[in-house]
Amino acid sequence: MADPSSYRPKPGQIPDSPGVYRFRDEHRRVIYVGKAKSLRQRLANYFQDLAGLHPRTRTMVTTAASVEWTVVSTEVEALQLEYSWIKEYDPRFNVKYRDDKSYPYLAVTMSEEFPRVQVMRGHKKKGVRYFGPYAHAWAIRDTVDLMLRVFPVRTCSAGVFKNAARTGRPCLLGYIGKCSAPCVGRVSAEEHGELADEFCDFMAGRTGAYLRRLEKQMTEAAEEMAYERAARLRDDIEALKKAMEKNAVVLADATDADLIAVAEDELEAAVQIFHVRGGRVRGQRGWVTDKVEDVTTGALVEHALQQLYGEETGDAVPKEVLVPALPDPVGPVQEWLTVRRGSGVSLRIPQRGDKRALMETVERNAQQALVLHKTKRASDLTTRSRALEEIADALDLDSAPLRIECYDVSHLQGDDVVASMVVFEDGLQRKSEYRRFQIKGFEGQDDVRSMHEVITRRFRRYLAEKERTGEWADEEPDGDLGPGLKDDDGRPRRFAYPPQLVVVDGGQPQVAAAKRALDELGIDDIAVCGLAKRLEEVWLPGDDDPVVLPRSSEGLYLLQRVRDEAHRFAITYQRAKRAKRFRSGPLDEVPGLGETRKQALIKHFGSVKKLRSATIDQICEVPGIGRKTAETIAATLAQAAPPAPSVNTATGEIIEEEEPDTTAGSPGEPVTAGAPEERRGQET
């Protein structure tokens, strides 16, 4: 007997949307399939106190060893998918669903002399054409009621049919025109059979030609002034259109297709496949794979196609394969699929309609699968502990690196050179400890010098904090800090904690620069390594050969996450700086003037030109602007302005004399920033 808490998902992992879920036992057999309007709320009901569960439910959750789910668009879609999986897996705890609430079909008994349209449940019978399944029996009856106006096929039971034939009097439907009354000989068996064939063709999706034929007949009747017949045909057309709306399914009944979606990031890709047969989702597959190289979405799709159909032939390869991106080139792949099937296969991207809508559902499932996979790997304590131990073993460290700092340099062709520092503690992100740096020591592109400068500045601050506060006992990062390690507001001091491991984004040159910076500062108790993107090699200082961790190593996965987070943080900062430079104006040069007060000034004066010509007293009229700030604004604008009157900051007097053009910060020109002190949440 399993403990449900051992496989209970965290609430944040379960999406709050419609879907279908499956419980599996320890042998991976599906033992229960259910649907839910909200997966999060429904699954929470299974993981309450066992004493409060129904005995059958309690037996099911203690037999299960895992639970998984699939997100869908609507509850109706969840119902249809749930039924498909119940039929496929025959779960032992879904007996009541199978016996008491089997899904209804619209059935036409084509094997009979006079075919009958009716609602059928249970096992399919030979000689009967089925359409559905439907969510509710009343939906079938509504559809049939509309269809009988145009296709008056028999719907009565055998007893009623025989009684009408014996008495020579048809039932009520025969009198009101919703049955062709073959029981009393109004139509022959052949004519009634043709009506049944047309009914089935229309239900199978071949609707366009029939509607066009009815519309042509209606037009001809109107031209002949047979207005009653034209009106009846008009009503028939409307009835068929309504029936088509009520008969909406996942895809057209004759559609056999596989839909493949891919969700990816820099490290991994999740692939989800929905198998649609007869217009219904009959199965789902999915997996998450490591991206061992920089591949496009089209290449990922090609790999998925090979894995799916590499050993399949015939009808196992569907007529249509819908994908998010086409392989490049697409011709060989499509030809390969055609050979495996033995007939033509369409490989394309759905653009609109039901197939596009269903593809969006598959894409949501792929995204959810990737998020869930990453959440499980990142949050699992055992996995994180194993990752840290693997890193310690690979790098020959004395203990697991509980605090890891990673550095990355980012720039655009030598402009806006910045760097990032991200922190992982116990294998998890510590975003409050992230820092950003501007490269100030030189201009231009030199990643090695930039790395040396960043490491030097970071650990010089660390040594300064250590010297100022004195020696302290080693404590855990989250432990109780002494007064010397806290600011006046009680927050930990910036750069106060040393890491056990420094990771740099790059190979031997960057690692050597980081190690040299630490040596120059006299720091010898912090390990250094680099992670090169090309082959994911781990470089150590002074080694000619890299350390190669297995691709399945949790240690490598953690280093990749740390490196990629540093890259993301650096490039985000670099792009923000570049965008700010392009949008910069004279007010951006005013020290201490934030965005809110900038907007207030522009709103009050209407333009920078009018603000530049305003007196200090006039600037003070703007809410939030004091006299000292007004003097600073006036002085800064005067320095940055083209030839214009200057301002006496002491008296506010306008001095009419020309000055040389000292415009700065114009679009397209790099603005060299000052050297502000490193501070939390601001560029450093």
pLDDT of residue 405: 93
Task: Give 412-423 as a DSSP string.
Answer: ETTEEEEEEEEE
pLDDT of residue 358: 86
- The tens digit of pLDDT for each residue in 584-603 reads 677 777 887 887 888 888 88
Query: What local confidence, expressed as pLDDT, does residue 596 receive?
Result: 84
Q: What is the mean pLDDT of residues 231-235?
A: 81
Residue whose entry in the numeric block shows the structure tokens 């992100």: 429
- Confidence grade of residue 503 (pLDDT, cut at 50, 70, 90): very high
- Percent of all residues in the chain with a pLDDT value above 90, rounded to a whole number: 7
**Mean pLDDT lowest for which of 288-302, 448-462, 670-684?**
670-684
Prior bond of 329 cis (ω within 30°): yes
Which two tokens mark 382? 């055992």
Q: Is the pLDDT of residue 680 over 80?
A: no
| Backbone angles phi and psi of 128, in degrees to 5 | -120, 130
Question: Band of the pLDDT at 679, cuts 50, 70, 90?
Answer: very low
Neighbours of 71 (CB within 10 A): 21
Q: What do you get for the CA distance between the two ends of the chain, in Å?
A: 57
* CA–CA separation, 260 and 274 (whole Å): 7
Kindly report the backbone phi and psi dihedral angles of residue 181, in degrees, each rounded to the nearest multiple of 5, phi listed first.
55, 55
Give the residue-averaged pLDDT of 396-415: 84
Q: Rounded to 5 degrees, what are φ and ψ at 367? A: -60, -45
Question: What's the one-letter identity of residue 99?
Answer: D
Look at the block and give the residue holding tokens 């073959």: 182
Q: What per-residue confidence (pLDDT) applies to 473?
A: 34
Most confident listed range (103-107, 202-206, 411-415, 610-614): 610-614
Average pLDDT over every residue of 461-465: 83
Q: Is the pLDDT of residue 633 over 50?
A: yes
pLDDT above 80 (res 332):
no
Question: Largest alpha-carbon pair distance within the chain?
Answer: 118
Predicted pLDDT of residue 487: 46
Helix/strand/coil (H/E/C) assignment for every residue in 145-192: HHHCCCCCCECCCHHHHHHHHHHCCCCHHHHCCCCCCHHHCCCCHHHH
Token reading at 46:
């299974």
Q: What is the mean pLDDT of residues 369-398?
A: 79
Judged against a pLDDT cut of 70, whether residue 277 lies above it is answered with no
Indicate if the pLDDT at residue 673 is higher than 60.
Answer: no
User: Do residues 198 and 190 make contact, with C-beta atoms less than 8 angstroms apart?
Assistant: no
Q: How far apart are CA 127 and CA 123, in angstroms?
A: 13
Average pLDDT over residues 36-58: 81
Residues pairing with 49 in the sheet: none
Higher pLDDT, 679 or 459: 459
**Can you tell me the mean pLDDT for 592-621?**
84
Return d(Cα 39, Cα 36) in angstroms, integer: 5
Average pLDDT, the chain: 76
Residues 191-197 have a mean pLDDT of 88
Closest CA to 195 of 238, 232, 148: 148
CA 592 to chain centre: 40
- Say what the pTM is: 0.39
Q: Which of 226-240, 451-465, 544-558, 656-670 has the lowest mean pLDDT?
A: 656-670
More confident position, 464 or 94: 464
Residue 30 pairs with which residues in a beta bridge?
24
What are the phi and psi torsion angles at 385 (to 5°)? -65, -40
**Adjacency order of strands within the sheet including 19-25:** 30-36, 19-25, 64-71
Q: Supply the pLDDT for residue 480.
A: 36
Residue 12: which pLDDT band, with cuts at 50, 70 and 90? Answer: confident
369 Cβ contact partners less than 8 Å away, ≥ 6 residues apart: 263, 270, 272, 286, 288
Give 34-46 pLDDT, tens digit per residue: 878 888 888 888 8
Enter the tokens of residue 74: 């609507």
| Section 436-448 average pLDDT | 82
Instruction: Label residue 406 by pLDDT band (50, 70, 90).
Output: very high
Q: What is the pLDDT of residue 662?
A: 33
pLDDT of residue 203: 72
| More confidently predicted of 496 and 176 | 176
Instruction: Please give the pLDDT value at position 472.
Output: 39
Q: Answer whether residue 261 shows pLDDT above 90.
A: yes
Instruction: Kindly indicate the confidence band of residue 250, based on its pLDDT and cuts at 50, 70 and 90.
Output: low
Averaged pLDDT, 157-176? 88
Question: Which of the two residues, 346 and 595, has the higher pLDDT score?
Answer: 346
DSSP 257: E
Categorize the per-residue pLDDT at 218 as very low, low, confident or very high, splitting at 50, 70 and 90: confident
Q: So what's the pLDDT on residue 98?
A: 31
